[in-house]
Amino acid sequence: MLDEGVNVGLGVDGAASSDAQSILAEARLAVLLQRAGGDPKGLGVRESLRMATRGGAANLGRSDEIGQLAPGFAADIVGFKLKGNLAFVGTDADPVAALLLCAPAAGSVAWSIIDGHVVVREGALVAADGGGAFDLAALVAQAEEHARVLLAGVSEEAVGRR
């Protein structure tokens, strides 16, 4: 499709239809699927990353406001600590390939800035108002309790537990 000039974008949905909700994992999968199809050079990591950023923005009709780091564009940014992380040993030569092909887990985010607000600082989830760190264990427990309450009102067949 890319060879024919079709804009291709990658994206993720919510937890109901996406295992990890990770755009990096989707970009990695796109590269690996091309390789599995018999063409190891069919899709490069940078091309896949472009599909996940600029390609998605173009498909949404928002190329003039999102999809790249540029003045005046909205940006959500994540940073990963590559140094000292066993998953990234030997990847200094190509950090972009390291990010996509090593597919970091959500827990390895060192920094996250969303709409100009630091949300993760040095690996810790922080309050949106710049206050202290969240109690992640309490947040997970609360989310699990909400999920239990929601599922209690759903039939076994509806959630696939037959």
Percent of the chain with pLDDT over 70: 85
Task: Give the mean pLDDT of the chain.
Answer: 82
Q: What is the pLDDT of residue 61?
A: 95
Contact 108, 85 (CB under 8 A): yes
Q: What is the pLDDT of residue 160?
A: 62
Strand duo 109-114 + 76-80: pairing: antiparallel
Q: What is the pLDDT of residue 130?
A: 58
Is pLDDT above 90 for 39?
no
Average pLDDT over residues 125-131: 68
Q: Is the model more confident about 135 or about 138? A: 138
pLDDT category at 129 given cuts 50, 70, 90 is: low
pLDDT category at 155 given cuts 50, 70, 90 is: low
Contact 91, 102 (CB under 8 A): yes
Average pLDDT over residues 140-144: 87
Question: Which uninterrupted H or E stretch holds 50?
Answer: helix 45-50
Q: Which residues 6+ apart lie within 8 Å of 24 measured at CB?
A: 52, 99, 100, 103, 104
Instruction: Give the span between the Cα atoms of 76 and 113, in whole angstroms.
Output: 6
pLDDT category at 161 given cuts 50, 70, 90 is: low
Tokens of 135: 């109690």
pLDDT category at 82 given cuts 50, 70, 90 is: confident
Q: Per the confidence metrics, is the pTM higher than 0.85?
A: no
pLDDT tens-digit profile of 93-116? 888 888 888 866 655 788 888 887
